[in-house]
Chain A
Amino acid sequence: EDQVTQSPEALRLQEGESSSLNCSYTVSGLRGLFWYRQDPGKGPEFLFTLYSAGEEKEKERLKATLTKKESFLHITAPKPEDSATYLCAVNTNAGKSTFGDGTTLTVKP
């Protein structure tokens, strides 16, 4: 059974304090790993797709990396507007997407 585990469950940072979120996965046949951002009362919004170990993607203060067992979402010098829940999802060769339970990030000014 495909499994996705995200840690920590919650993360509180001061503005400008860099950190990383972790997504570890166990799947049979990874087709892609996705990161989404979810604001309260909204649906998840796509951030990145990673396909193979060693791949990296960047967008503003966010950088996602992928190994054979886990992915990291690095947040550099975060701002309060980066506060949200970050969800990781794996898509398998069977075309199935499984989500983790997310990390809720709070950035204090």
Chain B
Amino acid sequence: EAGVAQSPRYKIIEKRQSVAFWCNPISGHATLYWYQQILGQGPKLLIQFQNNGVVDDSQLPKDRFSAERLKGVDSTLKIQPAKLEDSAVYLCASSHPRDRENTGELFFGEGSRLTVL
């Protein structure tokens, strides 16, 4: 089974520029998450999708961050304009709902590391 795919792996931009990250979840996983992980911290949820609807975006800085999940599969996370404090790894994850065969654990991609100069 193919894992969660993310691109690009690395991106360096100047502050006030824009950047976009792409995620392709595991086939059949209805739930998709974007997390921000700052060095030395645990992942912090930015947005959660169920199919192509938003379940939770309470911690997404909506003045600069946006995300979409077209057709309930791939997702894109955009930052515009970027700030220095946005330097982090952006992790995409997907999951099955918890049922008899699945515990509801998250499957993560390798992340996209953003450096804002």
Contacts and interface: CB of A to CB of B under 8 A. Distances in A.
Contact of A87 (B42, B48, B93): B42
A98 B106 CA distance: 12
How would you classify the secondary structure of chain B's contact residues: helix, strand, loop or mixed? loop
Contacts of A36: 106
Interface residues of B, number: 24
Contact of A101 (B33, B41, B98): B41
Contacts, number: 58
B40 interface: yes
Interface stretch (B14-22, B63-71, B72-80, B107-115): B107-115
Interface residues of A, number: 24
A99 B42 contact: yes
Contacts of A25: none
Contacts of A42: 110-111
Contacts of A96: 45, 48, 56
Interface of A: 4, 6, 31-32, 34, 36, 41-46, 49, 87, 89, 91, 95-102
